[in-house]
Amino acid sequence: MIPARMNEFLRDVLPERTRRNRLRREGPHAFLEFGPLDVERLHRMGIEVDRLGPQLVVCMWDEESSLEIGGYLVVDNLAMGRPSMGGIRLLSDITPTTVYNLARGMTLKNAAADLPYGGGKSGIVAPRDLSPTKHVTVVRGFAHLIHHYLDLYLPGPDVGTDDADMKTIAIENGLDCALSKPVDMGGNRIDELGAAGGGVVIAIDTLLDEIERLKALPQFAEMRVPPRSELTVIIQGFGAVGAHAARMLTEGRWLSGDEDVMERPCVVGVSDETGYLYSREGLPIPELLRLRQEKGVVTFPYFLDHLIDIRTPQPLVKFSNSCNDLLRESAFCFVPAAPIAHYLDVDADTNPSMTVDQMGKWAMIVEGANTYSPDPARKAARARMERAVYWQAGVLIATDYLVNSGGVIYAAQERMIETPPHLRIPQQMLGDREAVDRWLEEHQADLETLAEQRRLAGQEKRDQVIQRNMKELIDLLVADPDLLPCEAAERISIGRIASSESYRTAAEVMEPVPVISQDRAAGEAARMLVEEKSDLLAVASATGELVGIITDRDITQASATLHPQDLPLTKIMTRQVISADPDDSILDVVRKLEYHEISAMPVVQHKRVLGLVSGDILARRTLYRLLQGQD
């Protein structure tokens, strides 16, 4: 059945007529689909259409399940390639707005990672405290819903879901239909490997080499960059990203590039939901990692084990049960890695973790958490914060999607390095967990080898991409002193999207065009235009060559004659056809349509019609407005 909160939301924001007219059923599954031309309907759902997307928004649910199974899918942008990639978030209060914001973040993250995939995200409307059995049932049901969009969306884990859930989806839909699967499925299990946390570490390492160049800007003129052995770091959030970043930082080998030199920085502060710990001498990260493994949280358990009986005004390790107060402490580098997008602001009324006037002294912020939002108000708040932090306080900010793309890069290797045919689950086994588990056990060695191949490829790609992102970020900031870091980050990602989009051709975006024989009459053409809902008909000769086109205008002119239904098409068709070549770029197509003041034209090669391009098709399937802005 449709989740109650989802049903209530849709009834509140969409007119009953829209829900009735847009509802599509396939067996027990129900779908409401909206595209980039549904501007007003998407606005009602809290989504503002812009030059990047979204391309598709789906509200979907299972009408026959006794459990509430349903949620949302947003495919934001496919300019970098198909399918889109992004995690499945499971929360009771998730909305299309949240899913869209996350999908846009994935669009920019995948572009920044230079991956040939678009940005997407999905959300399951369900409480996180479901019993294990019900949780699996809900995930299985959602797998059946997103199965309808396998060519557009490839899921991974997110808040409320994990690698085990991706295994459940793969059992239902196939090995290549989910990302970040366990090793026994040839997966890259991104949380276990610390792929995103490793990206944070690579970003810090690269910035230590590049940040000196910012001294050309007045706010950084007095900055002192410490050697790696003297680097101090505080980390907000000790989950998968924060904990792995802390571990890798304190291991130290990655920093110098020399296996014989160990330059370990000092993690001086961490926080979690129970409080924060801070020590100028550095925290015992191995012990905190053990506590996280045993108890799930670290700061309060550490306090109980080591600090509760200490009575001194200046303890070596400070504890506070106010986790946000960690941001008052100072270090060279601050890493936001908690699921908190709004960690800083100049305005206390917006409820940030900390206001800028109360924050500690830092030289750089490297964002491990997802902080981006396309919401205009949020973007304005972000720019306001960066003007105070970057311009006035002289603190570099490395934006989230330039930094924390390690997870999606690792996961993408499960698509980029294809599963060999002999390691794909037989079709007849899909949905049968016991049979699939036996099959996986039989192929364990080969799948583990595949997983290791993908891990190594992911590590190499992640390191290259994030190093490049950090260097490009510094390049842009040095070249333009008025540029904010968030603006530079968008310029990097959107530049890659536009570059990818500029290579797309008419053949890639065209849609089928109805063809009618030249010996037919006007009446048949009129009926065909209505039935096919097409902008035009291609008129073909007996040998299949294009000899003209029929449009609504041609039919209207014919209706002024005495017997319009019987007029042969050769009497009314447009013979001088404006057409596109299949190799024409998107901008070439746009320019032809605008120059000739037409709304549609056939794509033709060697006098044969291949398809149709129109203003409507371009609006739905391309980012031509973005390209015009970049041109």
State the Cα–Cα distance between residues 311 and 304, nearest whole angstrom: 13
Concatenating the DSSP letter of every residue in 438-492 gives: HHHHHTHHHHHHHHHHHHHHHHHHHHHHHHHHHHHHHHHHHH-TT--HHHHHHHH
Mean pLDDT of 21-25: 95
Boundaries of every domain in the chain = 4-186+423-450, 195-406+458-500, 507-630
**pLDDT (0 to 100) of residue 619:** 75
Residue 164's pLDDT band (cuts 50, 70, 90): very high
Residue 482's pLDDT band (cuts 50, 70, 90): very high
Residue 624's pLDDT band (cuts 50, 70, 90): low
Check residue 53 and give left, alpha or beta (phi > 0: left; psi -120 to 50: alpha).
Answer: left
Task: State whether residue 125 is helix, strand or coil.
Answer: strand
For the chain, what is the mean pLDDT? 91
Inter-helix orientation angle 433-442/444-479, to 10°: 90
State the Cα–Cα distance between residues 224 and 212, nearest whole angstrom: 8
pLDDT in tens, 424-437: 999 999 999 999 99
Locate 571 and state its tokens: 């009497």
Comparing C-alpha atoms, which of 353, 319, 351, 347 is closest to residue 334? 353
**pLDDT (0 to 100) of residue 486:** 95
pLDDT score of 478 more than 90: yes
Dihedral sign from CA coordinates of 608, 609, 615, 619: negative
**pLDDT (0 to 100) of residue 631:** 52
232-236 and 153-157: which strand pairing? Answer: unpaired
Mean pLDDT of 26-43: 95
Task: Specify the DSSP class assigned to residue 225.
Answer: P
Residue 309's pLDDT band (cuts 50, 70, 90): confident
**pLDDT (0 to 100) of residue 191:** 73
Percentage of residues in the chain having pLDDT higher than 90: 71
Mean pLDDT of 17-44: 95
Return the CATH fold of 507-630. CBS-domain (3.10.580)
State the Cα–Cα distance between residues 362 and 351, nearest whole angstrom: 21
pLDDT in tens, 120-162: 999 999 998 999 999 999 999 999 999 999 999 999 998 899 8
pLDDT score of 394 more than 60: yes
Candidate from 11-20, 37-46, 426-435, 529-538 with smallest mean pLDDT: 529-538
Which residues are CB-neighbours of 41 under 8 A, at least 6 positions away? 14, 18, 34
* Residues 552-574 as b or e (16 or more Cβ within 10 Å = b): eebbeebeeeeebeebebeebbe
Fold match flag (195-406+458-500 vs 507-630): no
pLDDT in tens, 576-597: 999 999 999 888 898 899 888 8
Locate 482 and state its tokens: 């008025």
**Do residues 422 and 128 make contact, with C-beta atoms less than 8 angstroms apart?**
no
Q: Which CATH architecture has domain 4-186+423-450?
A: 3-Layer(aba) Sandwich (3.40)
Dihedral of CA atoms 57, 166, 444, 430 in degrees, nearest 10, equals -60
Question: Could you tell me the CA-to-CA distances from 57 to 107, 198, 463, 497 in Å, in that order?
Answer: 15, 32, 33, 20
**pLDDT (0 to 100) of residue 263:** 75
| CATH, domain range 195-406+458-500 | 3.40.50.720
pLDDT in tens, 593-610: 988 889 899 999 999 999
**pLDDT (0 to 100) of residue 627:** 59
pLDDT score of 241 more than 70: yes
**pLDDT (0 to 100) of residue 503:** 77
**pLDDT (0 to 100) of residue 629:** 57
pTM over 0.75: yes
Task: State whether residue 344 is helix, strand or coil.
Answer: strand
**pLDDT (0 to 100) of residue 103:** 94
Three-class HEC string of 276-293: EEECCCCCCHHHHHHHHH
Question: What is the helix (H) or strand (E) element at residue 550, kind and residue range?
Answer: strand 546-551
